[in-house]
């Protein structure tokens, strides 16, 4: 079991087809349980009911960053070893990541209005998420603009590498530029200032649910991409014959 | 490489090369902003560093498609690819030519535009220093964006979507240095960080851009 076996689309289709129903089932259990559990938590003494936005905001923000990292890794695998499924997975992940980024920004705005008194603030974290969204949009636009799929995979891969460096740089540059309203990280392994387990357990469930949702959507989208390539190849063969 | 540089400069400065258009665009931006925000000197001085930097960014962006597009169309890019000069060197020279024709005039003319926007005289030195250190990074990143989109028919809009987010750190540090200078402070820290970005792009971007060009030429 190594990722190189799955460079063969047939092998990938077979395995992902077998795994997919289980993933869908796990997501269908985990996500509603986490969200409903999050809905029933006691209200925060300061923020009231708005604390429940956390169960959408934190997992989507986490996934938004992790999906970009996953795209970076899959792009590298494609650029180094010409792993075709890897390139398709990067392409399939981008719209999911963009939606997660938008979700984090929107839930953040809805949450920020009652707690900070503003929908939007040029806070470093908010700003870097907006820039991350721009990178996602540019990445998807580049994919759709280039016709030759291998060239598109190469160019978007290079763009993802350079973009990662600059997205990272922008995050720290934004810190330099403005100190923000947003709190630091909520979940840490260090003892001390941590959120109560009343909130953290449903939050972990939601995070797991979002992760499973992402993997499920990713597999479905990658399978669609592979099928689209197959139809294109078949059509090209028809045209030649 | 020197021959290539001279050729590019000659092409840019002769008729139809668009030399000075960036500067004219910069002038128009600096003329339009007071109409938009009102002629009060205090307000203008407050936003002048940002306007000057954003203007420089857009002026730079306008001329980016010239870096590779014309050579791509008439096939000289293929000749460059087969020339003994490595592609990375060609990218570096092309970006340098772009900088000399758009970045350098902006640096030289910036104090005049600073006066137009009531930039405090103490900040003029910071403005020139920041533009001098920052505009090479703009040209390098622009060359990367141009290399990515060179094969596309309507790549201009896509290129701005790709390139402008890459400009964010340069803009932050550059404008911050001028703002600190305008407030009578010391802008050395952002200037040093800006120089760091420029040096890093000079070192790394030619490889990425040359890789993208090779993909587009295959």
The model's pLDDT over B119-154, given as tens digits with 9 standing for 90+, comes to: 888 788 888 889 999 999 999 999 999 888 887 877
Q: Is residue B17's pLDDT more than 70?
A: no
Given this model, what pLDDT does residue B119 score?
82
Query: Contact at 8 Å (CB) between A96 and A61?
Result: no
The model's pLDDT over A202-226, given as tens digits with 9 standing for 90+, comes to: 888 889 999 999 999 999 999 999 9
**pLDDT interval class at A140 (50, 70, 90):** very high
State how far Cα B116 lies from the chain centre.
Answer: 21
The model's pLDDT over A87-122, given as tens digits with 9 standing for 90+, comes to: 889 999 999 999 999 999 999 888 888 877 777 877
Chain A, residues 130-149, CB within 8 A of chain B, namely 131, 134-135, 137-138, 141-142, 145-146
Query: Contact at 8 Å (CB) between B209 and A192?
Result: no
Predicted structure pTM score = 0.87
Query: Contact at 8 Å (CB) between B202 and B138?
Result: no
Q: Poorest-confidence range of B52-61, B62-71, B131-140, B206-215?
A: B62-71
Q: Cα(B116)–Cα(A214) distance, rounded to whole angstroms?
A: 52
With an 8 Å Cβ cutoff, is B132 touching chain A?
no
Given this model, what pLDDT does residue A134 score?
92
State how far Cα A193 lies from the chain centre.
Answer: 28
The model's pLDDT over A14-60, given as tens digits with 9 standing for 90+, comes to: 888 889 999 999 999 988 888 888 888 777 766 777 778 888 888 99
| Mean pLDDT score across all residues of chain B | 85
Chain B, residues 172-201, CB within 8 A of chain A, namely 172-173, 176, 190, 193, 197
Q: Cα(B101)–Cα(A37) distance, rounded to whole angstroms?
A: 62
Domain boundaries, chain A: 3-180+195-240
* B168 closest CB neighbour out of A154, A159, A173: A173
Q: Poorest-confidence range of A145-149, A196-200, B44-48?
A: A196-200
**pLDDT interval class at A137 (50, 70, 90):** very high
């Amino acid at each position: 079991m190594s990722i190189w076996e799955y460079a063969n689309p047939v092998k990938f289709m077979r395995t992902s087809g077998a795994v997919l129903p289980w993933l869908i089932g796990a997501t269908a259990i985990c996500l509603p349980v986490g969200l409903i559990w999050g809905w029933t938590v006691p209200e925060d003494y300061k923020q009231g009911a708005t604390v429940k936005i956390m169960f959408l905001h934190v997992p989507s923000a986490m996934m938004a960053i992790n999906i970009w990292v996953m795209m970076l890794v899959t792009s590298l695998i494609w650029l180094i070893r010409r792993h075709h499924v890897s390139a398709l997975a990067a392409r399939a992940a981008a719209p999911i990541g963009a939606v997660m980024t938008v979700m984090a920004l929107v839930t953040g705005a809805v949450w920020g209005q009652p707690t900070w008194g503003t929908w939007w603030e040029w806070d470093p974290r908010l700003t870097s998420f907006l820039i991350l969204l721009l990178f996602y949009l540019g990445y998807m636009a580049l994919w759709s603009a280039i016709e030759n799929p291998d060239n598109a995979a190469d160019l978007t891969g290079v763009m993802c590498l350079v973009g990662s460096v600059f997205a990272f740089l922008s995050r720290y540059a934004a810190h330099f530029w403005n100190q923000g309203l947003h709190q630091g990280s909520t979940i840490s392994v260090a003892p001390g200032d941590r959120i109560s387990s009343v909130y953290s357990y449903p939050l972990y469930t939601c995070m797991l649910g979002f992760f499973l949702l992402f993997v499920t959507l990713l597999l479905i989208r990658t399978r669609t991409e592979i099928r689209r390539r197959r139809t294109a190849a078949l059509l090209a063969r028809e045209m030649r014959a | 490489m020197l021959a290539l540089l001279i050729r590019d400069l000659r092409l840019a400065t002769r008729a139809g090369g668009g030399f000075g258009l960036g500067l004219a665009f910069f002038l128009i931006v600096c003329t339009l902003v007071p109409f938009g925000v009102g002629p009060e000197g205090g307000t203008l001085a407050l936003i002048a560093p940002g306007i000057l930097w954003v203007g420089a960014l857009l002026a730079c962006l306008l001329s980016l498609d010239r870096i590779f597009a014309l050579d791509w169309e008439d096939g000289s890019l293929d000749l460059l690819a087969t020339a003994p000069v490595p592609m990375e060197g060609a990218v570096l020279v092309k970006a340098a030519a772009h900088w000399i024709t758009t970045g350098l005039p902006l640096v030289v003319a910036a104090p005049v535009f600073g006066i137009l926007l009531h930039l405090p005289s103490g900040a003029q030195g910071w403005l020139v220093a920041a533009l001098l250190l920052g505009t090479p990074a703009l040209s390098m990143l622009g060359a990367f964006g141009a290399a990515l989109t060179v094969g596309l028919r309507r790549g201009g809009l896509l290129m701005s979507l790709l390139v402008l987010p890459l400009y964010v750190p340069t803009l932050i540090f550059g404008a911050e240095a001028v703002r600190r200078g305008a407030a009578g402070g010391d802008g050395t820290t952002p200037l040093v960080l800006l120089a760091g970005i420029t040096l890093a792009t000079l070192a790394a971007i030619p490889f990425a851009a040359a890789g993208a060009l090779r993909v587009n030429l295959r």
